[in-house]
Amino acid sequence: MNVVDKLYTEWAYRSKSGTPDIKNPKDKAVLDSILSDLEVPLQEDTYILEADGSIYDQVIALKLFKDADKISEIPGVNKKYSVGNDDKVDTKDMEVYKKLYPVTPPKTGKAIDSAGTKGAGNGEIALYWLLSRSGVNVEDGRGKDAPDLKINKTLGLEVKSYGQRQITLGRFGDDYDTRKKLGYVLGLDVLISNLTGEQRAPSIDSFNKEELIRGFSTMSKFSSNKNLREASKEFELIKDIYSKIDSLSNDLGLEQSFAPREGAAAILRQLLSTKAKNKPGDGGYIVDVSEEGKIKYTQVTQSKIDSLDSDTIIKYVSANGSALKIYPDDLFG
C-alpha cells in the first residue's frame, strides 16, 4: 500500500460515512485533522516535494519570482559548467548564483516554501542551477545515506560550504556491523578499566582517537598474551573473549600481535568506506562551493581509501556523536 492509499484509508476510517467527500465540510475537517497530525502545511498554494528533481526548479522559481510555477522563466547560464572540474562562477551568472546560494532545499515531504537559509546545505540549489542549465542531467539525490545531488542517476555529489577543512560525511548509527566491532573494542576496555579502577572507557557514540587507540591497546595485549590464550582452553569466559578478539582481528585484517594504532586505523577506515560507499558513492565527488563562486571537486574512490596509511586515517578521520568527520582535501586531494 502506497502513501496515498494509506492516507485515503485513514481518512475513510475516520469519516462517518466511510466514503469521504472533499466537498463535505465535515469530511474535509477530518482530512485537515489527519494532515495536521502529519505536520503537513495546510495553507493554500502549497507545493509538496515531488519524487523527481523538478522540485529544485520550483524552489528556484519561488526564490527568484515568488511564484513556483514560473519555471520556464528561470534564466540560463552564461557559460557551461561541467562535473569534476574546479571552476569559478562567471561574473554574468553571479547575480542569480548569489540569490540561490543561501537557499537550502526543503525536507522530503515538506512544502517548497519551507526552503530557507539555515546555514547548512548552502550552495546545493545554486550548484543545481549551474549544472542543470549547462545541460547536465542532475537531480535531487537527498535521502537516507544518499548524496545531495545525482548525475545521470548514478554519480553522487555531496555539497559542502566552502572553507570548511573538516566536514561531517554522515552518521553511522545504522552501521550495525562496525558499531558492533566498536562496542566490543570499547567494551573490553570498560571491563579492564572497571577491574583496575581506571577511568571508564567512552561509549560507541562518544569517543576520541586516543580512547579508541587505548581500546585497541587493551585488545592487543589480550591478543598477544600466550599465557591467557593457554588458559582460555580451561575457562569458557576467557575462551569466549579470545574467540571475539580473533574474529574481530580477522575481519579488520589485523595480525595476532597488531599495533594499537593499526587497529584504530582499520576500524576508522571501515567507517569511512561504509559512509563513502553511499555519500558520495565510489567515484563521486565532495563539492566545495563558496558564496564568491569558487567550486572545487574532490573525488572519492574506494581505491584512494584503501591506499591511505594508518597515520593519515587516524589524523584525518574521526567520530563524534555517531557522526563521521573527515578532512576531504587531506584524504582525497
SS3 159: strand
At 121-136, the pLDDT tens digits run 689 999 999 999 999 9
What is the tens place of the pLDDT at every residue in 134-191? 999 998 876 667 899 999 989 999 998 766 788 888 888 777 888 888 888 887 776 6
Q: How confident is the model at residue 331 (pLDDT cuts 50, 70, 90)?
A: very high
With a cut of 80, say whether residue 61 has pLDDT above it.
yes
d(CA 102, CA 118): 8
Residue 41 — pLDDT band, cuts 50, 70, 90? very low
What secondary structure, in 3-state letters, does 50-114 show?
A: CCCCHHHHHHHHHHHHCCCCCHHHCCCCCCCCCCCCCEECCHHHHHHHHHHCCCECCCCCCEHHH
Q: What is the pLDDT of residue 10?
A: 72
Q: Where are the domains of the chain?
A: 3-37, 176-268
Bigger pLDDT: 226 vs 201: 226
Give the N- to C-terminal CA distance of the chain in Å, as an integer: 46
According to the model, what pLDDT value does residue 9 have? 73
Q: What is the mean pLDDT of the chain?
A: 81
Q: pLDDT tens for residues 248-285?
A: 889 888 887 889 999 999 999 999 999 999 899 999 99
| pTM of structure | 0.74
pLDDT for position 309: 95
pLDDT at 196: 47
Q: Which residue has the higher pLDDT, 53 or 67?
A: 67
What's residue 118's pLDDT? 45
pLDDT digits (tens, 9 = 90+) for 76-114: 999 999 999 999 999 999 999 999 999 887 665 555 554
Cα(188)–Cα(153) distance, integer angstroms: 43
Report the pLDDT value the prediction gives residue 283, as an integer from 0 to 100.
97
